[in-house]
């Protein structure tokens, strides 16, 4: 049954037909969800959790599949509020199929697909297309809609029409909405519709033609810089706009210490704002660019050690709510060029959990909160993020926290190879992923 996929961990025949019949027993693991941690076996029937029992007491019903979770954590599937799946329009970089496989391998059971596709998701037709492609995917794929038509920052997208199709997150990600008046109106609509504005914070007039963080490294390399203040001014502007409009504002991929301080102050004064940080901004700095590799070019750019430590502090004290990947696949020819020409962005879905777990000394519950149930809540994604209790939808991942592995770009399920973690040894690997009751990822050793 398993595996015609390039990645040998897949069932190739997933579909709702199987989900209805299937029984699945996940044995020997430690269940960790928002209510805490306990040793328990988990029985799945169809697409829902049927029983959770402590101490290996469950027997596999006849015909049930068994997934070995001994020595592992059984957690709600991860939820990514920020991934670029590139379909429609850039299928040479990624498709919803390959991106959702990468997601499943990373432990994700739900991913928000960013709307900077080609054409962008600024119309009902494109949103419907993404929803249709999402049907056969290895995880739940939720299309985000653009804030402005064509992401051009001039005219609002038909937000109500897109919200009626189920779009809950609106973003011009890739660039910020430069016009404050337009952003205010977008937030007023978002507030009325009960949807989230996911904000790419970079002021274009300050960014100019910058390609790396403005500072010592940009000077040393002779490259134009993107200053941290370009992020800070838009963070401050949009916090103020969220305050007057009552909109739910989610700040994407924060990169600078000054932004963390701004969010901390906003939260202290009661503004309804949430914020995310990426694994790469938590684990890498501008120093990684010294070797002049475009694998480390990303927007907003990798910044200083001080910025990185402020982001870690912000995640630790809850100022930053979410770790999101900003998975940004690009084909080799888009990266294999000069720093100024190269496309910004890096892969994230298959390495995110391991990077965070390896690089940060955070309690597992904090990591899972930031990568599963908190993003599920912020995105209003029902049935994701747990809890692991009878009756809940069976969206789960099984994580071997002791497993060391080396990131090999050629072995990634993504269609692109642009990982900045190539060759790096990481600690913690997803062993199995169960989506809507189906084991979409099963560790190779479990198939023998």
Catalytic positions, please? 326
Structure tokens at 49: 């959790």
200 binds ligand DOR per the rule CB under 6 A: yes
Q: CB-wise, 76 or 115, nearer to ligand DOR?
A: 115
| Stretch 272-291 residues interacting with ligand DOR (CB under 6 A) | none
116 binds ligand DOR per the rule CB under 6 A: yes
Q: CB-wise, 314 or 344, nearer to Zn ion?
A: 344
> Quick one: what does residue 299 bind among Zn ion, ligand DOR, none, with the CB cut-off 5 to 8 Å set by partner type?
ligand DOR
Beta carbon of residue 258, minimum distance to ligand DOR (angstroms, whole number): 19
Task: Please answer whether residues 357 and 427 qualify as being in contact, where contact means their C-beta atoms are separated by less than 8 angstroms.
Answer: yes
φ/ψ of 396, rounded to 5, equals: -140, 155
Residue 57 burial (10 A CB sphere; 0-12, 13-18, 19+): exposed
Beta carbon of residue 343, minimum distance to ligand DOR (angstroms, whole number): 6
**What CA–CA distance (Å, rounded) separates 184 from 379?**
21
Structure tokens at 375: 């993003």
- To which H or E segment does residue 218 belong? helix 216-221
Q: CB-wise, 98 or 325, nearer to Zn ion?
A: 325
Beta carbon of residue 379, minimum distance to ligand DOR (angstroms, whole number): 18
Q: Is 17 helix (H, G, I), strand (E, B) or coil?
A: helix
143 binds ligand DOR per the rule CB under 6 A: no
173 binds ligand DOR per the rule CB under 6 A: yes
**What CA–CA distance (Å, rounded) separates 170 from 152?**
14
Of 165, 152, 156, the C-alpha closest to 186 is 156
**What CA–CA distance (Å, rounded) separates 343 from 332?**
10
Give how far Cα 17 sits from Cα of 9, 77, 130, 216, 273, Å. 20, 21, 22, 57, 41
Spell out, one character per residue from 291 to 310, where the chain touches ligand DOR: x when CB under 6 A holds, - when not: -------xx-----------
Beta carbon of residue 99, minimum distance to ligand DOR (angstroms, whole number): 12
Q: CB-wise, 29 or 174, nearer to ligand DOR?
A: 174
94 binds ligand DOR per the rule CB under 6 A: no
Query: Which position among 76, 210, 345, 439 is part of the footprint of ligand DOR (CB under 6 A)?
Result: 345
What count of other Cβ atoms lies within 10 Å of the Cβ of residue 204? 12
> Quick one: what does residue 351 bind among Zn ion, ligand DOR, none, with the CB cut-off 5 to 8 Å set by partner type?
none
Beta carbon of residue 309, minimum distance to ligand DOR (angstroms, whole number): 22
Cβ neighbours for 99, distance < 8 A, ≥ 6 positions apart: 83, 85, 86, 87, 111, 113, 141, 327, 329, 349, 414, 415
Query: Which position among 28, 174, 279, 437 is part of the footprint of ligand DOR (CB under 6 A)?
Result: 174
Beta carbon of residue 406, minimum distance to ligand DOR (angstroms, whole number): 25
Task: Please answer whether residues 360 and 351 qualify as being in contact, where contact means their C-beta atoms are separated by less than 8 angstroms.
Answer: no
> Quick one: what does residue 115 bind among ligand DOR, Zn ion, none, with the CB cut-off 5 to 8 Å set by partner type?
none
> Quick one: what does residue 45 bind among Zn ion, ligand DOR, none, with the CB cut-off 5 to 8 Å set by partner type?
none
Q: By CB under 6 A, name the binding residues for ligand DOR.
A: 84, 116, 173-174, 200, 298-299, 328, 344-345
């Amino acid at each position: 049954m398993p595996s015609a996929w390039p990645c040998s961990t897949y069932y190739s025949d997933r579909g709702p037909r199987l989900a209805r019949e299937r029984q699945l027993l996940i044995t020997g693991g430690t269940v960790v969800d928002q209510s805490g941690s306990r040793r328990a076996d988990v029985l799945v029937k169809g697409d829902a959790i049927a029983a959770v029992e402590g101490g290996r007491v469950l027997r596999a019903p006849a015909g049930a599949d068994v997934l070995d979770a001994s020595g592992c954590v059984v957690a709600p599937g991860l939820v990514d509020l920020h991934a670029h799946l590139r379909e429609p329009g850039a299928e040479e970089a990624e498709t919803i199929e390959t991106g959702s496989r990468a997601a499943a391998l990373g432990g994700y059971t739900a991913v928000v697909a960013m709307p900077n596709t080609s054409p962008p998701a600024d119309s009902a037709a494109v949103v419907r297309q993404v929803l249709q492609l999402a049907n056969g995917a290895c995880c739940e794929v939720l299309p985000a809609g653009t804030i402005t038509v064509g992401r051009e920052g001039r005219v609002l997208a038909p937000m109500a029409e897109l919200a009626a199709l189920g779009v809950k997150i609106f973003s011009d990600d890739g660039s910020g909405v430069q016009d404050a008046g337009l952003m205010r109106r977008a937030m007023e609509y978002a507030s009325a519709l009960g949807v989230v504005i996911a904000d790419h914070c970079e002021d274009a007039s300050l960014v100019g033609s910058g390609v790396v963080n403005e500072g010592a490294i940009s000077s040393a390399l002779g490259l134009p810089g993107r200053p941290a203040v370009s992020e800070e001014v838009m963070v401050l502007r949009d916090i103020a706009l969220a305050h007057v409009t009552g909109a739910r504002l989610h700040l994407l991929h924060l990169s600078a210490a000054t932004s963390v301080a701004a969010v901390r102050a906003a939260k202290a004064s009661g503004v309804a704002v949430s914020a995310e940080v990426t694994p790469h901004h938590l684990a890498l700095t501008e120093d990684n660019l010294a070797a002049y590799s475009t694998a480390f070019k990303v927007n907003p750019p990798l910044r200083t050690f001080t910025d990185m430590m402020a982001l870690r502090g912000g995640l630790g004290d809850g100022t930053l709510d979410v770790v999101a990947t900003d998975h940004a696949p690009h084909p080799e020819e888009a990266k294999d060029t000069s720093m100024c020409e190269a496309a910004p962005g890096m892969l994230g879905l298959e390495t995110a959990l391991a990077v965070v777990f390896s690089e940060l000394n955070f309690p597992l519950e904090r990591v899972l909160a930031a990568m599963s149930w908190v993003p599920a809540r912020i995105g209003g994604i029902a049935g994701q993020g747990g809890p692991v209790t009878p009756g809940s939808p069976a969206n789960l991942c099984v994580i071997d926290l002791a497993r060391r592995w080396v990131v090999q770009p050629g072995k990634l399920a993504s269609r692109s190879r642009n990982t900045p973690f190539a060759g790096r040894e990481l600690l913690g690997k997803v062993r199995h992923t169960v989506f809507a009751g189906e084991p979409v990822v099963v560790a190779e050793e479990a198939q023998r």
